[in-house]
Every structure is written in C-alpha cells, then in structure tokens.
Amino acid sequence: MPSFTARAEYDRLTHVRAHRPGLELWPGALEPETNLFDAPVPPAQAAREHERMTDALERAGVEVHLLADDLAAAGALEDLVAEYVDLPDGHDAASATAAFDARETLELVLSQATLTEANDRTSVELREPISNTLFQSDTVVVGDEGPVLCEMGESIRQDELPIVRRAWEGLGAEFTHEMTRPLEGGEFLPADEFALMGVSAEIDGAEEVIRTTYDAGREFLDAGAVDFDEVGLVRAPLAADRRHREQHGIGSRVLHLLGWCNLAAEGLAVTDTTLAKEATVDVFERTVDGYAFDRSISTLDYLRDRGYDIVEMGPKERWAANFLTVDDGTIVPMHRTDEDGEYDPALNGTIERLKERGVTVLPDGEGIPEGVLTRGAGGINCMTVPLERR
C-alpha cells in the first residue's frame, strides 16, 4: 500500500497514478478552447502516446496505477455509472456494462453518456464530458503529511473531484485537507526542508488569477496541510511570460508553477531565469502557531540561497521544465522532435544541459516525444500524480 506522501520532488517515485484518455477527449478534439486545450487532442492517438508514457515509467521502476483500475478495485465503477450515465427506463446499468473492462466503463462515466431510444433507433449523446481527467496532478496535492483534495477554479473541471475522491479513498487514503478556494496540484513543488506553491499573479497591484488564488495558498498553509520548515507562495510571473510568448512564439509556461520550475535532483533546479527573477515568492516559516510570513524575495534568489544550481530552460521549449523526476538525478521528460519525428539535440537544449550535469534521462537519454498529448496544455508531470515518494 502506498504511503500517499511526498517530501521532495527528487525522492524516488515508487507509485504514481495516471489516467488513460479515451472517449471523453472528443469534445477537446473538436472544440479545444472551451475544454481548456491548446489544440485538438485526437483520442486514439492520445491513448497510444499515453500508453508509451506509462510504459516508460514502468521501465523506470515506477508502479503505475491507472485511474480506472483503482476505481474498479475500490468497487466504485458501478455507482459511478449510475450517477453519471443516463439510461432509459428498463435498462439496468450494471447489466449494460457487465462485458466492459474497467477502462471502457470509466470512459462511459467520463463521457456522461445519455442513451435515448426513438423510432426503433438508439442514440448516444455525450453530455459535457469530463475531458481534463488526463491531467491527474491538478486535482490532488501530495505533500509530506498526505494528500490534499484540490478545488478547481474552472467549472468544466468540477466534475472530476467526486471521481478522484473515490479513487483515493478506495486505496485507503485520507485527505489531510479539502480545499475550499481554487488551488491545483501542478503548483506544488516539495524539496525536503521547504516547498513552493504557485499562486496568482500580481500586476499593478491587482491580483490576476490563472488557476490558483493567493488566498488558496494561505488556506493551504493555515490548514496545516504540510509540515515543511518553510513554504513559499510564488506569484506567477505573468507579465514576463507574456513578453516571452510574444518574443518566442510559444504558449504560456505559467499556467502552473511546474510549467516553468522543477527539480531534477537535490540541489539542481530547471527554470527560466527571467521568469524566476520576476516571480516574487512570499516565504512563510513554520512556527508553533502555524506558518508566519517571514520575507519576500525573487524565486531565482530563493533557489540560489537554498543552494540550488540552475539549468536554464531553452527559450522555445515550452514543456522543458514539466518533466517527471523518478529518482534523485533521474528524470522522464518529453522532448521536441524534428521533421522526421526524431529526437534532435538542437531542439532539446534543456535535456542536453541536464545530461551534462550528470542527470540520467529516461528512456534512451531522450525521454518521450511530446506528440499530441501536450496539446491539452500539459506535460508528463501534469499527467501524473505521485502516490508515494520515498
């Protein structure tokens, strides 16, 4: 049984959860923007690429838990079908799905399918499918004290939470806190003695929320959800990111903290130094009465003060920091490909610089291709959530 804790991003990843995407992706393939995607995400291609991703993690020694399998083991799928799937009178949901495997049943649930009969014909409608379930990191934060159930600021993502809750509780996990303000798990970066939590931007004195609010960060601290010596609330460097997007023609990196800052090893961070220099971190120290504000400093200076060397992200590599660290000095990243679909060192400067620093890159010193999966606006770190690091 996993411990459901993670004290440092570079600790060995022993158990991880992912969700193999399926039918629920169709709205994101046809109407990406309203589903929070950057571009169409074809479901069959995404599923194949996702399997390649989980295969790479298993070869790296990580036990991969698929969401559908965990829900099946918890005995939750039948109830979910009853709640999320609408069948005409006289149709029994359990009988209708008896021949389905766990993944097929979950696809039906996430599609929120409605079956109708008229004129001796049957139709199936997908009612607001829960299309972002692919991004498992967003709904739960896992820290040194255990998992925290997040609150999703985007209404399209609210329906993920009851499903995710069943999967965690079905494994025996207990949430140390359940957020009431918008906070997503892709903002959280633990580092043994300290942790960072990404929050909203502040522009001209006004808060600009991307996914996580500053008040949510304070709620996270005040709830005693973690027990690190220090926790820094990192203001998203939105203005600098906008300038970077305009200059280099790539999408935003600051949706979450893990989009522009990550740890490949103890003492080795990957970040865009321009963003890190402009991102203010409010540092809170743990006291006997909880966390108290101590100081404000740039994220870049904070990391350096903490003894971290910095590997600079390539300016055109959008997902270079969103790798998954599977052990101290070992990562599984996603790489850019050339016109022939092959790895090109010239397009993946971050990976090359990490290898020069002694970091092991899996698989094959390259990682896995970005493919269509990243069109959903997230990389491999966004698509996984640790069940245990030790």
The CATH number linked to 139 is: 3.75.10.10
Q: Quick check: 109 pLDDT over 80?
A: yes
Q: Quick check: 90 pLDDT over 80?
A: no
Is 222 a domain residue?
A: yes
Is 262 a domain residue?
A: yes
Is 20 a domain residue?
A: yes
The mean pLDDT value of the chain amounts to 96
pLDDT tens for 4-37 read 999 999 999 999 999 999 999 998 899 999 999 9
What range defines the domain where residue 280 resides?
13-69+130-389
Note the pLDDT of residue 147.
Answer: 99
Domains held by the chain: number: 1
Contacts of 112 (CB under 8 A, 6+ apart): 84, 85, 86, 126, 127, 128, 129, 130, 159
Is 81 a domain residue?
A: no
Closest by CA position to 361, among listed 351, 371, 349, 374: 351
- Distance between the two ends of the chain, CA-based, in angstroms? 13
Do residues 103 and 66 make contact, with C-beta atoms less than 8 angstroms apart? yes
Is 106 a domain residue?
A: no
Is 167 a domain residue?
A: yes
Least confident of 88-92, 169-173, 243-247: 88-92
Is 3 a domain residue?
A: no
pLDDT tens for 165-178 read 999 999 999 999 99
Q: What is the pTM of this model?
A: 0.96
**What amino acid occupies position 293?**
F
